[in-house]
Amino acid sequence: EPQELVDAFEARVAADEFIEPKDWMPEAYRKTLVRQISQHAHSEIVGMLPEGNWITRAPSLRRKAILLAKVQDEAGHGLYLYCAAETLGTSREEMIEALHSGKAKYSTIFNYPTLTWADIAAIGWLVDGAAIMNQVPLQRTSYGPYARAMVRVCKEESFHQRQGYEAMTVLAQGTEEQKRMAQDALNRWWWPSLMMFGPPDDKSPNTERSMRWRIKRETNDELRQKFVDITVPQAEFLGLTVPDEDLAWNEEKGGYDFGDIDWEEFYAVVRGEGPVAKERMKARRDAWEQNAWVREAADAHEAKKRAAAAA
Ligand code: FAQ
């Protein structure tokens, strides 16, 4: 790649300018973006499944209406992100094929089962909470279409997080059985939520370069620490116990120290060995195949319209 183009690109990024689809960019920058944005899109789409399972079982009409809206929002986020990735020269078909063939990654978090209604509350509180922590800085990511997509996504995620925390509050202040469910959900979702931020910085192959190119604005460990610091007091307010015996306020660093994450589990889930990974992929492929007629009908309609316009 011509050095003067690389230098000019690096200078623009360093000056906090947005890079736009038709601008020159190093091939490795393009590839990293396609990787991250498509994984992010897949996460939004697969992320609909654990919650979608509970739409018919939501405990009230109000909860059902909220959950329906939330799941639809996630579909919107996924489509937004696929569009952003398409501006980099990859096609929607390629990305979906990569997901369905098991080649593409998506967030580890969606490979855990949603066993009770409290899991839906915990997902809103913790999973959307972690997602926002990661996505707010991405509103300033160096690639324009990705940054702009994040603005809207963050507004919606923030509603998701609040509704989750509100649902959790009701359970935590409810009957003994409801409190037990809330605590059990926190026990199961806490560690997987911390894993959402990715491997520790010294084991993260992409962080250094992505930080230099300002694709990532904060590192995995920085964001994980912020998430712990914000979330622990919320758990205390709920009267719930974070399942970590090593959790302790560290006055000197002005943040919490926390226990070791089980990275063996993380890498196993990344490899596709998560507790419900097979079910998730099967649900995606079934939806794709069973709804092929919708894509065919849309194509047929388009062809008829084009033929009519040409006549
Ligand atoms: N799961 O070098 P790094 C949501 C992979 S949205 C699976 O640190 P990077 C909304 C990583 O891809 C949640 N794989 O990588 C919602 C890389 O693999 P590769 C998704 C993971 O990219 C809520 C390798 O490990 N959010 O939840 C994970 O610099 C509720 C090495 O890692 C985003 O995608 C993981 N947790 O940093 C929906 C945000 N962590 O490709 C429904 C955008 C790492 O080299 C309900 N993405 N890996 O083979 C990012 O910010 C970054 O991509 C990170 C990873 C931070 C996820």
Count of CB atoms situated within 10 Å of the CB of 121: 26
pTM of the model: 0.96
Q: Which residues contact 51 (CB under 8 A, 6 or more apart)?
A: 67, 70, 71, 74, 114, 120, 123
Pocket test for ligand 1, best of 105, 125, 203, 212 (most atoms within 8 A of CB): 105
> Are 102 and 188 spatial neighbours (Cβ–Cβ below 8 Å)?
no
List, in sequence order, every residue forming a beta bridge with 19; answer none if it has no partner.
143
How confident is the model at residue 205, as a pLDDT?
98
Using the mean position of ligand 1's atoms as its centre, give its distance from the Cα of residue 43 in Å.
8
CB of residue 64 inside a 6 A radius of ligand 1: no
Write out the chain's pLDDT in tens, 311 residues: 899 999 999 999 999 999 999 999 999 999 999 999 999 999 999 999 999 999 999 999 999 999 999 999 999 999 999 999 999 999 999 999 999 999 999 999 999 999 999 999 999 999 999 999 999 999 999 999 999 999 999 999 999 999 999 999 999 999 999 999 999 999 999 999 999 999 999 999 999 999 999 999 999 999 999 999 999 999 999 999 999 999 999 999 999 999 999 999 999 999 999 999 999 999 999 999 999 999 999 999 999 999 999 98
Task: Give burial (CB, 10 Å; 0-12/13-18/19+) of 254.
Answer: exposed
* CA nearest ligand 1 atom 37, residue: 198
d(CA 19, CA 143): 5
CB of residue 274 inside a 6 A radius of ligand 1: no
Using the mean position of ligand 1's atoms as its centre, give its distance from the Cα of residue 196 in Å.
7
* Overall residue count recorded for the chain in this entry: 311
Q: Which residues contact 171 (CB under 8 A, 6 or more apart)?
A: 117, 118, 121, 178, 179, 181, 182
- DSSP code of residue 127: I
How confident is the model at residue 311, as a pLDDT?
85
* CA nearest ligand 1 atom 9, residue: 206
Using the mean position of ligand 1's atoms as its centre, give its distance from the Cα of residue 135 in Å.
11
CB of residue 118 inside a 6 A radius of ligand 1: no
How confident is the model at residue 256, as a pLDDT?
98
d(CA 266, CA 168): 26
Residue of 189, 188, 250, 202 lying closest to 225 (CA atoms): 250
d(CA 162, CA 152): 16
Q: CA 56 → CA 51, 59, 65, 206, distances in Å?
A: 10, 9, 11, 40
- The ligand 1 atom at the shortest distance from the C-alpha of residue 48 is 42
List, in sequence order, every residue forming a beta bridge with 256; answer none if it has no partner.
249
How confident is the model at residue 117, as a pLDDT?
98
d(CA 167, CA 58): 11
d(CA 104, CA 279): 16
How confident is the model at residue 46, as a pLDDT?
97
> ipTM score here?
0.98
Q: According to DSSP H, which parts of the chain are helical?
A: 3-14, 27-46, 48-52, 61-86, 92-100, 117-122, 128-138, 144-172, 176-195, 207-212, 220-238, 263-268, 277-290, 292-310
d(CA 88, CA 215): 14
